[in-house]
Structure formats: C-alpha cells, structure tokens
Amino acid sequence: FGRSRGGFTTKIHLLVNAHGLPMKTEITPGQTSDYLGFDLVMADNLPSPSVLLADRGYDGDCIRANLIARNVLPVIPMRKSRKKRIGVDRSLYRLRNLVERCFNKLKNARRVATRYDKTAESFLGFIDITSVRLWLRHLST
C-alpha cells in the first residue's frame, strides 16, 4: 500500500456503533485522502446512523451533503483552511472518543498495530478477526 520514509503505511477507516464496536472496517494506502475511506465505509447497506462523528480529515462539502441527504447529522470539526465557517456540537463530538478507544482495542492485537501482513486482504482479514473478538467480548458481558 502507501510508502513513507519508514516503509509502507496503511490507514484504517472504521464505522463504529454507539457501544464503540466496529460495524465496518476498510483500509486505504497511507497517502490516500480520508474522503476515499468515507466512501468505502458508507457504501454498504448498513442502517444509516442518526449522527456521524468524524475527525477533521473528513471535513468536505461533498461528505456533508452526502450525510444530509441521508438524514444524518454530521458532527465534523472544520479544517483550518475552510473558508466557510461551520460550527460543531462539542458535547456530541466528545463521544468520538468511542472511535479512538475502538482503534486502541484493535491495536492491542500486535499484528494490527505493526502490520506484519504482506497483502492488504490478509491485513483486513485480521482486522475483521480482531473485530469479531471485540464483539464476542461485548456480548459475553
């Protein structure tokens, strides 16, 4: 996938439910824009969320228009270079820590954190296996 000074890089894109569990995972090369990851994650026939919390990498007029067309409230802080100022609900945005905690739980699996896999398919497969472990742990409690 993507190449950087330290070697190959990969971005993991997650769609997480209200419990902080992964619903959809996709990977893209490290140099790819977050816009592409948004299209991949939201392309499925999963039920649309009522609110989408994302970081500023996903701030774009096309993404906001897509979400509004689906009746989804976008809670995305604006990029510093944005000309049209758009406010964000800070109390809702605080819930985005669920996504970061999900990344942390996924990266507890050393194989996900360091990406030992040569092919993108095997790496994504192991991310999915780790996601299933998180779901099973949640369902057993």
Residue 134 has pLDDT above 90, yes or no: yes
Question: CA-CA distance, 76 to 55, in Å (whole number)?
Answer: 6
How many domains, in total, are found in the chain?
A: 1
pLDDT at 35: 83
Q: What is the pTM of this model?
A: 0.84
What is the amino acid identity at position 94? Answer: R
Q: Is residue 117 part of a domain?
A: yes
In terms of pLDDT, which residue wins out, 48 or 130?
130
Q: Would 139 be classed as within a structural domain?
A: no
* Domain housing 72: 2-134
* CATH code for the domain of 57: 3.30.420.10
Place of tokens 């949640």: 138
DSSP string, 14-73: EEE-TTS-EEEEEEEETTS-HHHHHHHHHTS-PPPPSEEE--GGG--HHHHHHHHHTT-E
pLDDT tens for each residue of 14-55: 999 999 999 999 999 888 888 888 888 888 777 878 999 999
Per-residue pLDDT tens digits for 47-79: 878 999 999 889 888 999 999 999 999 999 988
Is 78 contained in some domain? Answer: yes
pLDDT of residue 3: 57
Cβ–Cβ < 8 Å for 9, 29 = yes
pLDDT value of residue 84: 84
Q: CB–CB of 72/48 below 8 Å?
A: yes
